[in-house]
């Protein structure tokens, strides 16, 4: 595998220290575009030679230090920067925390008991005799079952804990030090990830009485993806203590966030391919290896975010590091090809597991990216969505959209198609820039436990399952482009109808399952409470029930998502939702779906 081996360092500009007394901000919101354009033009001039990369002979344990760190801004940009900095601080509304502290305050994060992960791991069938019987019955007597879908099975529970776990944390993209002065230091450190993961695992096995040895490694370094991969690879291979613990562990669990997700995937693939990490322990037992990807930038940030004023401000300092993240939107870029090659080695060839968890209100990474939608279903892949406090965020008005996300991911996890529903509705779920959707999930222990349980408690594939990828045009998902709006609406309506038809077919296909027979008296009673099963009868009723009770209004700003943060018409997204509701309602009536309404 042709992994990059040359380390690089980019030249960043350092802003002169801001005075303790910030000047009064007289800049109105209407001037943001003009201000951003000025910054953007300056950054283009400054990074016009960004492809000229300097080789570095040695890399210290500390973060790389830009060579021109003491260089000030041009005088013409100084005042513009101060104004933009204040606007950025006001818009993000985040408090600075101690970078070194892993005990950062959780006061600005929603309490874990009001959050949820959909779908849960319980949607995967247990490898039991009733399941095998029902599968045999369906294969023999139900039509169209010859095209077998493949998915993971639950084979363990709390009574079978691992003896030893190695946790490896990989943080995401850290802003430039000068940006940190404005919006505060990052809280998503590798130390936090491994601490939260260890806490969730120990709590899970608290009542089992088993002693679990956990060895933690926090990998920390800023830079571009391939720089970090090379640095972490050298760091791990040069440390005999790390390698000894990895060799003797029952499970190696990578925990990554944001940019750290593609970094971890490529790093682990390189370690496995070069024989640094083995799937077998020293005693010959099988080693479980996997990655939890939290809000991973697997397919780039939100497509149109590079046109925002704050992104242009970031470009002024980040340059190549930020540009690289947008390269993951291009399926023909070297970054994407390397990532896909690494995933094929990791998931298909080495039989490792990856759990993707996206955030419903993520302001930076859409669900189709964080859930790695371009990767087709595979038994070693599980996808889920993290939902913040549903009442506090006004998300109760989006219950129908949330239900689509839940069922779409459930279908993908079980090896079915979702008719591109997750791809098409991601645009309506992008959070506001003042929110914390991109970071709130790594405070919740349920997220770490989901990744751990998927890796440890599911079965290993006996045969090597090939991994496939799909391509799509991300630019056609840009709802801020008025030329795309009508096409998006039509595609969404017909995709929704196909989605429901597929769900209806699957619900009928499982009529002879043992689950249905043993729950005969509840079957057909409009019981929508039990949706955590491998079967889809209740899912269909639940989705249609929420659809008929869903009434988006053009005056309802809670339905708008990200619209107040872009240059589009303030009602663009809400109008799209209303058109979708009206158009789909007519088609559902014509196709006889009214009978699924509750009496």
Confidence of residue 185 (pLDDT cuts 50, 70, 90): low
What pLDDT is stored for residue 158 in this prediction?
Answer: 85
Contact 207, 213 (CB under 8 A): no
In a domain, 476, yes or no: no
**Cα–Cα distances in angstroms (integers) from residue 98 to residues 262, 391, 452, 580, in the given order:** 26, 30, 28, 46
What is the number of structural domains in the chain? Answer: 2
Q: What is the structure's pLDDT at 393?
A: 58
Asked whether the beta carbons of 385 and 471 are under 8 A apart, the reply is no
Residues 532-591: tens digit of each pLDDT: 455 788 899 899 999 998 888 766 655 555 444 443 333 446 788 888 899 999 889 888
Give residue 444's pLDDT band: very low, low, confident or very high (50, 70, 90): very high
Q: Which 3-state string (H, E, C) describes 196-208?
A: HHHHHHHHHCHHH
pLDDT at 87 over 60: no
408 assigned to some structural domain: no
Per-residue confidence (pLDDT) for residue 202, from 0 to 100: 96
- Is the pLDDT reported for residue 220 higher than 50? yes
Question: Is position 128 within any domain?
Answer: yes
Kindly report the CATH number assigned to the domain that includes residue 296: 3.40.50.1820
Residues 374 and 520 in one domain: no
* Residue 335 predicted with pLDDT over 70: yes
Q: Is residue 460 domain-resident?
A: no
pLDDT at 428: 86
DSSP class per residue in 264-296: HHHHHHHHHHTTSS-SB-TTSPBPEEEEEEES-
Mean pLDDT of 199-224: 92
Same domain, 563 and 445: no
Structure confidence at residue 390 (pLDDT): 61
Contact 268, 228 (CB under 8 A): no
d(CA 188, CA 291) in angstroms, rounded, equals: 17
111 part of a folded domain: yes
In sequence order, the β-bridge partners of residue 154 are: 126, 458
Query: Residue 320 has which token pair?
Result: 């190549």
Which is more confident, 451 or 598?
451
508 and 446 housed in the same domain: no
Task: Give 201's pLDDT tier (boundaries 50, 70, 90).
Answer: very high
464-483: average pLDDT:
81
Most confidently modeled of 88-102, 249-263, 270-284? 249-263
148 vs 197: CA distance, rounded Å: 35
Confidence band for 168, pLDDT divided at 50, 70 and 90: very high
Whole-number pLDDT of residue 599: 62
β-strand partners of 529? none
Residue 451 and residue 517 share a domain: no
- Is residue 214 one of the residues assigned to a domain? yes
The pLDDT value recorded for residue 23 is 39
The model's pLDDT over 381-435, given as tens digits with 9 standing for 90+, comes to: 999 999 987 656 567 678 899 999 999 999 999 999 999 999 999 988 888 777 7
**Contact call for residues 308 and 565 (beta carbons, < 8 A):** yes
If asked whether residues 445 and 531 sit together in one domain, one would say no
CA 369 centroid distance within chain: 6
Residue 451 has pLDDT above 90, yes or no: yes
Are 374 and 448 contained in the same domain? yes
Mean pLDDT of 489-499: 88
Does 182 lie in the same domain as 139? yes
Per-residue model confidence (pLDDT) at position 98: 31
Can you tell me the distance from the alpha carbon of 320 to that of 303, in angstroms, rounded to the nearest whole number? 17
- Over residues 346-378, the pLDDT tens digits come to 999 999 999 999 999 898 899 999 999 999 999
Cβ 256 vs Cβ 291: under 8 Å = yes
Mean predicted confidence (pLDDT) in 212-237: 95
Taking a C-beta distance cutoff of 8 angstroms, is the pair 161, 210 a contact? Answer: yes
Residue 369 lies in a domain: yes
Which tops the pLDDT comparison, 310 or 538?
Answer: 538
Instruction: Note the pLDDT of residue 12.
Output: 36
pLDDT, residue 334, reads: 95
- Residue 49 has what pLDDT? 33
Which is more confidently placed, 485 or 160? 160
Q: How far apart are CA 67 and CA 52, in angstroms?
A: 14
DSSP characters over 314-363: HHHHHTHHHHHHHHTT-TTSHHHHHHHHHHIIIIIIS--EEEEEEETT-S
DSSP secondary structure of 115-180: -EEES-GGGSPB--HHHHHHHHHHHHHSTT-SS------B---TTS--SEEEEEEE--PPPPHHHH
Domain stop point among 410, 440, 455 = 455
Do 168 and 289 lie in one domain? The reply is yes
Name the residue among 184, 207, 174, 217 with its Cα closest to residue 64: 174
pLDDT of residue 173: 81
Same domain for 520 and 376?
no
Q: Residue 477 in contact with residue 427, Cβ under 8 Å?
A: yes
Task: Determine how many CB atoms are found less than 10 A away from the CB of residue 439.
Answer: 23
Q: Do residues 476 and 484 lie in contact, with contact meaning Cβ atoms separated by under 8 Å? A: yes
Determine, yes or no, domain membership for 73: yes
Question: 54 forms bridges with which residues in the sheet?
Answer: 9
The model's confidence at residue 313, banded by pLDDT at 50, 70 and 90, is low
Q: Which domain holds residue 312?
A: 28-392+431-455
pLDDT greater at residue 564 or residue 185: 185
What average pLDDT is seen over the chain? 75
Residues 255 and 171 in one domain: yes
Residue, of 420 and 57, whose pLDDT is higher: 420
When mean pLDDT is compared across 65-79, 88-102, 165-179, 536-550, the lowest value belongs to 88-102
As a whole number, mean pLDDT of residues 447-462 equals 94
The residues pairing with 253 across neighbouring beta strands, listed in sequence order, are 167, 290
Residue 188: pLDDT band with limits 50, 70, 90: low
Of 91-105, 150-164, 385-399, the least confident: 91-105
Number of neighbouring beta carbons within 10 Å of residue 553:
12
User: 399-413 vs 537-548: helix axis angle to the nearest 10?
Assistant: 160
Q: Does one domain contain both 534 and 444?
A: no
**Pair 111, 147 in one domain:** yes
> In this predicted model, which residue has the larger pLDDT, 278 or 180?
278
For residue 536, which of 589, 467, 596 has the smallest C-alpha distance?
596
Q: Determine the pLDDT at residue 484.
A: 67
- pLDDT at residue 524 in the model: 44
What percent of the chain shows pLDDT beyond 70? 63
Q: How confident is the model at residue 53 (pLDDT cuts 50, 70, 90)?
A: very low
């Amino acid at each position: 595998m042709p992994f990059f081996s040359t380390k690089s360092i980019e030249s960043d500009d350092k802003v002169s220290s801001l005075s303790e007394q910030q000047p009064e901000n007289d800049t109105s919101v209407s001037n943001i575009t003009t201000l951003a354009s000025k910054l953007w033009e300056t950054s283009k001039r400054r990074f016009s030679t960004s492809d000229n990369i300097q080789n570095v002979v040695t890399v210290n344990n500390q973060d790389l230090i830009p060579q021109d760190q003491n260089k000030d801004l041009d005088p013409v940009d100084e005042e513009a920067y101060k104004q933009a900095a204040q606007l950025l601080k006001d818009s993000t509304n985040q408090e600075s925390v101690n970078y070194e502290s892993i005990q950062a305050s959780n006061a600005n994060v929603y309490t874990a008991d009001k959050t949820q992960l959909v779908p849960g791991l319980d949607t995967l069938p247990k490898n039991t005799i009733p399941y095998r019987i029902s599968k045999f019955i369906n294969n023999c007597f139900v039509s169209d079952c010859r095209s077998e879908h493949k998915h993971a099975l639950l084979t363990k529970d709390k009574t079978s804990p691992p003896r030893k776990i190695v946790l490896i944390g990989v943080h995401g993209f850290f802003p430039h030090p000068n940006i940190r002065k404005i919006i505060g230091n990052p809280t998503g450190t590798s130390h936090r990830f491994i601490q939260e993961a260890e806490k969730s695992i120990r709590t899970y096995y608290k009542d089992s009485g088993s002693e679990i040895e956990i060895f933690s490694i926090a990998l920390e370094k800023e830079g571009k993806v391939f720089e970090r991969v090379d640095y972490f690879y050298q760091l791990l291979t040069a440390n005999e203590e790390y390698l000894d613990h990895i060799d003797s562990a029952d499970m190696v669990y990578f925990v990554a966030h944001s940019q750290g997700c593609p970094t971890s995937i490529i790093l682990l693939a390189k370690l496995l391919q070069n024989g640094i990490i083995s799937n077998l322990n020293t005693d010959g037992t099988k080693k479980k290896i996997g990655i939890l990807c939290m809000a991973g930038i697997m397919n780039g940030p939100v497509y149109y975010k590079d046109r925002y004023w704050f992104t242009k401000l970031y470009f002024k300092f980040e340059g190549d590091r930020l540009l690289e993240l947008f390269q993951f939107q291009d399926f023909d870029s070297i970054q994407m090809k390397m990532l896909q090659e690494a995933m094929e080695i990791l998931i298909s060839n080495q039989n490792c597991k990856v759990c993707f968890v996206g955030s419903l209100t993520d302001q930076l990474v859409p669900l189709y990216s964080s859930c790695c939608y371009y990767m087709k279903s595979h038994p070693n892949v599980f996808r889920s969505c993290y939902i913040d406090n549903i009442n506090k965020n006004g998300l109760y008005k989006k219950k129908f959209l949330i239900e689509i996300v839940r069922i779409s991911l459930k279908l993908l996890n079980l090896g079915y198609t979702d008719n591109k529903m997750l791809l098409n509705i991601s645009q309506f779920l992008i959070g506001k820039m003042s929110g914390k959707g991109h970071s709130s999930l790594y405070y919740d222990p349920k997220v770490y436990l989901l990744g751990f349980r998927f890796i440890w408690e599911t079965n290993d594939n006996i045969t090597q399952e090939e991994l496939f990828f799909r391509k799509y045009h991300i630019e056609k998902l840009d709802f801020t482009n008025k030329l795309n709006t009508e096409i998006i609406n039509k595609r969404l309506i017909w995709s929704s109808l196909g989605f429901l038809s597929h769900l209806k077919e699957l619900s009928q296909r499982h009529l002879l399952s043992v689950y249905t027979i043993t729950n005969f008296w509840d079957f057909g009673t409009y019981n929508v409470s039990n949706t955590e099963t491998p079967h889809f009868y209740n899912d269909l009723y639940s989705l249609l029930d929420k659809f008929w009770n869903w009434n988006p209004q053009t005056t309802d700003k809670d339905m708008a998502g990200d619209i107040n943060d872009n240059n589009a018409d303030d009602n663009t997204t809400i109008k799209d939702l209303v058109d979708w509701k009206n158009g789909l309602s007519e088609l559902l009536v014509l196709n006889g779906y009214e009978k699924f309404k509750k009496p």
